[in-house]
Amino acid sequence: MARLRWDRLDIIDGVPETLTELRRRHDLLLLTKGDQEEQVRKIERSGLAELFRRTLVTPEKTEATYRGVVADERLDAGKTWMIGNSPKSDILPAVAAGLRAVFIAHPHTWRLEVVALPENDARILRVTRFRELLGLF
């Protein structure tokens, strides 16, 4: 299997500072999908790993994945939020599992991950910049 090379990793503006502040207020977990080794390498290289209590890598993010994380981590689904840029993998399956979600649109989201989100679903918030999370949480 060919491995991706991460010669350069761009961090979205405001992410380190926002996560640092949110970590003071909340319990942060990172759930990502893909190849375990590759994702761990990318997270370590980002310098953000220490801002999360735990990092979880899964081959796919489905409703069952989110339900499993909620059960394994003993989370209250109704008070747990998924924050992400993929409607298909982050937002819709999290909401289906009983979580609430914040969608942060990003121009480089893989096109296969972009699907329509319900317009008037109170469980889904939308922001345009990562720093806006500080006003929500």
Segments making up each domain of the chain, as ranges: 15-136
pLDDT at 1: 47
Q: Kindly report the CATH class assigned to 15-136.
A: alpha beta
**Nearest partner of 91 among 8, 64, 100, 53, judged by Cα:** 100
| pLDDT, tens only, 118-130 | 888 999 999 999 9
H or E element in which residue 132 lies: none
| pLDDT, tens only, 52-101 | 999 999 999 999 999 999 999 999 999 999 999 999 999 999 999 999 99
Confidence band of 117 (pLDDT split at 50, 70, 90)? confident
Instruction: Mention every residue, 6+ apart, whose C-beta is less than 8 A from residue 49.
Output: 30, 43, 55
pLDDT at 41: 92
Checking if the pLDDT of 7 tops 70, the result is no
pTM: 0.86
